[in-house]
Amino acid sequence: MLLGFSGFCFAEIQQSDSVKVNKKMMIAGYSQFGKVLATNPFLKPTDPVFDQDYDFVALSFQLLKQTTGKNLWEKNYGFPSYGFGVYSASFANTSKFGTPIAVYAIFKAPFRRWNNFSLNYEGGFGLTFNWEGYNPAEGSYNISMGANESVFIDLGMNLSYALSSHFDVGIGYSFTHFSNGALKSPNYGLNTFAPKISLNYNLNRFLAPVIKERLPAHHRNTSIDFSFFGGVKNVSYSGNNVDSLTKYKGIYYAVYGLSTVLNHQITYKSKIGIGLSLGYDGSYNSTILVENGKLESIDGSYGDKISLSIFPSYELVINRLSVVVQPGFYLFRKPSGNHTPATYQRLGLQYLINNKIFAGICLRAYDYHVSDYIEWTLGYHLFVHGKGEK
């Protein structure tokens, strides 16, 4: 996510009985300059040579906590840092996009360290405000963003160097995705892929000798995870026999369903599995008509809106938090003129409330960049082998 730095690079900080490591806080910031990826007609420059509408500059500031190895997962991830950040972007043509501001949570960890150098990966998730959303009544035709708010997802890598006992500098890149999860249509999403330069200030960096520590063996476990998901999606009206404001509001449809995943945790960090999902999408086989100047939905039968899908599952486990990646394939859907493709992608976060109950949020998309809807989930782990990690 946001390119910043791994919070310490001078030496690999490892904890032992003879070394007491104090809690540390860091302040980080980065700047970024690049172009928006042209993933829909609104984002395609009219003049590929001279059109600068799609240049952007971004700044971000972060407050981070550096882990010290107090818990096993901290050692397992090479002493990562995590915290919160604020992001702001400015486009060459602000009237088309607005000036988005995001608040987000971020996690940073090293792939590897060499003396003062550190190769790191980062991920961030949050909410963005102040877009110039799609609103023909006000002369805004930004089909990338149907609303003034969106989700913020950022993934990146960087190489950082420790300048002194307090300062690190870094250079890298990140991919950033903005979408409102079809809470308001149209919503083709907006993506950026650009380099970053970052600076990190360690309030009280602690230098410790490299002490390799053998982690206890991981006890593999298998579980069947049951979950319920629900949400809403907005579908705009495509006809022209109604005023632009009514057309822009569209119709909201309920989406919900049940999923079950056979999960096997193979390491401290990774779970793999296979799952099935039975879903209901109110927009399937529905037609929007105009009656007395108002939009009305003509729905098909309940069975016309049911789908069954199968998906491989991967979870990156970070203490009680998991990053979930599930590419899905529909096994059954009734034919419809408003179907999305036969495959979809689910990306989200899942938090373990206790050893068996979890909650989460997932963005379901198709074509790898178009949001279909946001799923809010609540689930239960039924362990069939092992007790799970505490």
Q: Could you tell me if residue 144 is inside a domain?
A: yes
Dihedral through CA 390, CA 220, CA 14, CA 25, nearest 10? -40
Q: Could you tell me if residue 18 is inside a domain?
A: no
pLDDT at 36: 87
- Judge whether 371 and 180 are in contact, CB under 8 Å: yes
Examine the domain organization and report whether 39 and 99 are in the same domain.
yes
Q: Which domain holds residue 75?
A: 24-202
At 48, the pLDDT band (50, 70, 90 cuts) reads low
Cα dist from 4 to 320, 337, 373, whole Å = 24, 45, 30
More confident: 221 or 87 = 87
pLDDT at 207: 57
Examine the domain organization and report whether 185 and 229 are in the same domain.
no
Examine the domain organization and report whether 116 and 73 are in the same domain.
yes
pLDDT at 1: 37
Residue 209 has pLDDT above 80, yes or no: no
Examine the domain organization and report whether 355 and 240 are in the same domain.
yes
Q: Could you tell me if residue 211 is inside a domain?
A: no
At 370, the pLDDT band (50, 70, 90 cuts) reads confident
Q: Could you tell me if residue 31 is inside a domain?
A: yes
Q: How big is the chain, counted in residues?
A: 390
Residue 259 has pLDDT above 60, yes or no: yes
Q: Could you tell me if residue 286 is inside a domain?
A: yes
pLDDT at 205: 75
Residue 240 burial class via C-beta count within 10 angstroms: exposed 0-12, middle 13-18, buried 19 and up: exposed
Examine the domain organization and report whether 159 and 284 are in the same domain.
no
Q: Could you tell me if residue 216 is inside a domain?
A: no
Examine the domain organization and report whether 154 and 251 are in the same domain.
no
pLDDT at 10: 37
Examine the domain organization and report whether 117 and 240 are in the same domain.
no
More confident: 49 or 299 = 299
How many domains does the chain divide into? 2
Interval 97-119 mean pLDDT: 92
Residue 98 has pLDDT above 80, yes or no: yes
pLDDT at 327: 97
- Tens of pLDDT, residue by residue over 328-357, are 999 999 887 767 789 999 999 999 999 899
Examine the domain organization and report whether 297 and 260 are in the same domain.
yes
Examine the domain organization and report whether 334 and 268 are in the same domain.
yes
More confident: 86 or 139 = 86
Choose one of 146, 172, 202: the last residue of a domain.
202
More confident: 371 or 280 = 280
Dihedral through CA 373, CA 379, CA 384, CA 389, nearest 10? 100
Residue 3 has pLDDT above 80, yes or no: no
- Tens of pLDDT, residue by residue over 226-255, are 999 999 998 888 777 777 777 778 889 999
Interval 307-317 mean pLDDT: 97
Cα separation of 383 and 360, whole Å?
Answer: 19
CATH number of the domain encompassing residue 107: 2.40.160.20
Share of the chain above pLDDT 70, in %: 87
Cα separation of 368 and 359, whole Å?
Answer: 24
Residue 6 has pLDDT above 70, yes or no: no
Interval 275-298 mean pLDDT: 89
Examine the domain organization and report whether 176 and 226 are in the same domain.
no
Q: Could you tell me if residue 303 is inside a domain?
A: yes
The three-state (H, E, C) secondary structure of the chain, written as one string: CCCCCCCCCCCCCCCECCECCCCEEEEEEEEEEEEECCCCHHHCCCCCCCCCCCEEEEEEEEEEEECCCCCHHHHHCCCCEEEEEEEEEEECCHHHHEEEEEEEEEEEEEEEEECCEEEEEEEEEEEEEEECCCEHHHCECCCCCCCCCEEEEEEEEEEEEECCCCEEEEEEEEEEEEECCCCCCCCCCEEEEEEEEEEEEECCCCCCCCCCCCCCCCCCEEEEEEEEEEEEEEECCCCCCCCHHHHHHCEEEEEEEEEEEEEEECCCCEEEEEEEEEEEECCCCCEEEEECCEEEEECCCHHHHEEEEEEEEEEEEECCEEEEEEEEEEEEECCCCCCCCCEEEEEEEEEECCCCEEEEEEEEEECCCEEEEEEEEEEEEEEEECCCCC
Examine the domain organization and report whether 334 and 237 are in the same domain.
yes
Examine the domain organization and report whether 107 and 43 are in the same domain.
yes
